[in-house]
Amino acid sequence: MPILIEPQRRLEGSAVALCSWATEHRQELDAWLNRFGAVLLRGFCIGSPGEFHDVVTAIRPQLLSYVGGDSPRTALGERIYTSTEFPPDMEIGLHNELSYTRSWPERVFFCCLAAAESGGETHIADSRKVFAQMDPAVRHRFSDKGVIYRQHLRDGNGESGPGKSWQETFETTDPAEAERICSDQHMDSQWTNRGLRTSLRNPGVLSHPVTAQTCWFNQADMWHASFDSVKAQESAGAAEDPVEEMLGSHACYGDGSEIPMADLEAVRSACRKSEVLFPWRAGDMLILDNVLAMHGRKPFTGERRVLVAMA
């Protein structure tokens, strides 16, 4: 992974030609993604959010919003977003998109409009390989117990703190609408003096809906408040604050027990052994099966513009 698709002749390498080809070859693309997990389309000169949108919707017409997502992004219209806007010196670990919600996408699309001066790769890994590389005892605990994702989202109306506010997370300023979204997600929610606290239990592994293969599928190592990640670094609270009042995120096992640091290190080790990375080229488009393929972002220097869409 990924398999590479390029135009046979340079003159055929346009977003318009790719739209036409993708419309006719949706079934082949799905078959390749169900087998390999990742497809890289290179040499088709995708140069704008509009062209990216046209190609994506030629493949999957119904795009998803990022409601409930915790990564800082900018919406560019028509459900096209910037990829994560965490600081460029931070690495974003391998993860499955929105695996901490009940509405994760089946497909994730990336498009590079400008490659970084150095670094900035969107590294990927085969979730089946990560599962196979995992220490068997750790793998069993995640499979058996699942993961509880907890977060305390600040109020955007005056409450300073880490991460996104509940208004930004749920893309609404209406508390009743935020409650409805939580309810639809089967997410427990509670208003606090500082914002909105949520909790959701999700699987730690999944069976792929088409192939039935077992795949690693969670973000426990990125959400854990005491483990090194961009999201953990966003967690904060005054030392005198009670734990329940601290803002930020945390993850524990699905039975409520804490995840040992050794288990989280085992997760990171399996991910490192499995990762694949390649330098972006301007105009590249990467399609991921979100269950079969994990993704992240390497630190970078210089300008980097990568867009994302989900379906």
Helix, strand, or coil (residue 194): coil
Q: How many C-beta neighbours within 10 Å does residue 50 have?
A: 14
User: DSSP letter at 12?
Assistant: G
Instruction: Classify the C-alpha dihedral 205-253-221-141 as positive or negative.
Output: negative
- What's the confidence (pLDDT) of residue 43? 92
Alpha carbon distances (Å) from 130 to 127, 156, 217, 245, 284 = 5, 37, 10, 35, 25
For residue range 109-168, what is the model confidence (pLDDT) as tens digits?
A: 999 999 999 999 999 999 999 999 999 999 999 999 999 999 999 998 876 767 889 999
SS (H, E, C) 234-299: HCECCCCCCHHHCEEEEEEECCCCCCCHHHHHHHHHHHHHHEECCCCCCCCEEEEECCCEEEEECC
- What's the confidence (pLDDT) of residue 238? 44
Residue pair 125/275 in contact (Cβ under 8 Å)? The answer is yes
- What's the confidence (pLDDT) of residue 233? 58
- What's the confidence (pLDDT) of residue 229? 72
How far is 197 from 237, CA to CA, in rounded Å? 14
- What's the confidence (pLDDT) of residue 232? 65
Residue ranges, the chain, pLDDT below 50: 238-240
Domains located in the chain, CATH noted? 3-126+277-310 (3.60.130.10), 128-270 (3.60.130.10)
